[in-house]
Amino acid sequence: MDTVDPQHLRTFVTVTRLGSFSEAARELGYTQSAVSQQIAALEADLGAGLLNRRPVGPTEAGRRLLEHAAPLLVRLEAARADVARLAGAPSTRLVLGATPLAVGPELGRALGEVRRAYPAAELVVRVLAQGVLPAQAATGEVDLALIDGLAAPSDPLPLPDVGPLATRAVDEQPVAVALPAGHPLAGRSGVALADLSAARWLDAPDLTPTAARLRAAAGVDGFRPATRYRGTDVHGLLALVATGHGLTLLPASALADAPGVASAPIAAPRLVHRTELVHGSLPEGPAALLARLLGA
């Protein structure tokens, strides 16, 4: 063997995930014997013990390998998906993955046109957290991904690199901080992000930039999250803002008419809330059409 065998890698991650050779064998459709031999072969190939047996768990080297394995398998899958889509029959199905804030009237209009052009097509919109979307776009679980996030005006969004993906900005909004109505800063024409570092923050990692991102953008410490909000809906988050649980950054458009919530645009540093369209190769059909519509 010259390169690490991905099959073995897949078996290895399955074993560590399930904590059992036998269960991994069942899940992968092998015999327990095969799994045992695959792990042995991998350990021999790399010249290091990867798993402690009884109880089954990764060693130091195994943990290191795990960090490599997951992205590797994703990219392997992405390569297959990318080529397959390019060669496959034009698909009649369109799966659009999107972060919650990326779904807006513009997308609705574009989807309407797709509907008109392909009346028989099956359209699926899947709302997902930002973190998983690039991988889903790469592996073809979604045909197109609409991802929103915070960035400097001329930087691209900081997305994880999961392979060669095409990226294009489709929308930019000013960034504003969501405040409870009556907050002293409400209605101010511009606020410096750094001045907010001491405030209580709502950390909604599936929805808006995390505290760590804010620290980086503002160049100061602080932004200690008071409450963590897991979920992909804006409504609930704004309700918490209205009741004083903390502040959050959102695109100005999302704050237009939320009850009990005021806002103030962020003046410094220069940030924008950008929505980007991300995709690998596009199967001819509704997906390609939607990409063209959103790009224009």
Out of a second copy, DNA, none, what residue 236 binds, judged by CB under 5 to 8 A for its kind, is none
Residue 84 as a binder of a second copy (CB under 8 A): the answer is yes
Q: Determine the straight-line distance between the first and last CA of the chain, rounded to whole angstroms.
A: 49
Residue 123 as a binder of a second copy (CB under 8 A): the answer is no
Residue 79 as a binder of a second copy (CB under 8 A): the answer is yes
Give the residue with the Cβ less far from DNA, 38 or 197. Answer: 38
Give the residue with the Cβ less far from a second copy, 60 or 195. Answer: 60
Give the torsion through C-alpha atoms of 23, 26, 31, 32, to 10 deg: 0
Q: Least distance to DNA from the beta carbon of 222, Å?
A: 46
Out of DNA, a second copy, none, what residue 187 binds, judged by CB under 5 to 8 A for its kind, is none
Helix (H) or strand (E) holding 279: strand 272-279
Mind spelling out the 3-state secondary structure of 27-85? HHCCCHHHHHHHHHHHHHHHCCCCEECCCCEECHHHHHHHHHHHHHHHHHHHHHHHHHH
Q: Least distance to DNA from the beta carbon of 24, Å?
A: 8
Residue 14 as a binder of DNA (CB under 7 A): the answer is no
Out of a second copy, DNA, none, what residue 268 binds, judged by CB under 5 to 8 A for its kind, is none
Q: Least distance to DNA from the beta carbon of 164, Å?
A: 25
Out of a second copy, DNA, none, what residue 41 binds, judged by CB under 5 to 8 A for its kind, is DNA
Question: Which one-letter amino acid corresponds to residue 14?
Answer: T
DSSP H helices in the chain:
6-18, 21-28, 32-46, 60-87, 105-117, 133-139, 211-218, 234-242, 286-295
Tokens 């959103």 -> residue:
294
CA 41 vs CA 4, 32, 64, 82, 149: distances in Å? 10, 14, 17, 30, 43
Tokens 């999302």 -> residue:
254
Give the residue with the Cβ less far from DNA, 34 or 211. Answer: 34
Q: Hey, how many other C-beta atoms are within 10 angstroms of the C-beta on 198?
A: 12
Residue 90 as a binder of a second copy (CB under 8 A): the answer is no
The one segment of 15-23, 59-67, 221-229, 275-283 that binds DNA by CB under 7 A: 15-23
Give the residue with the Cβ less far from a second copy, 49 or 265. Answer: 49
Question: What is the separation of C-alpha 207 from the centre of its chain, rounded to a whole number of angstroms?
Answer: 10
Task: Write each residue from 18 to 57 as x if it is in contact with DNA (CB under 7 A), else as -, in one continuous string.
Answer: --xxxx-----xxxxxx-xxxxxx-----------xx-x-
Those residues whose C-beta lies under 8 Å from the C-beta of residue 166, and which sit 6 or more positions away, are 278, 279, 280
Summarize as ranges the residues that interact with DNA (CB under 7 A).
1, 5, 7, 20-23, 29-34, 36-41, 53-54, 56
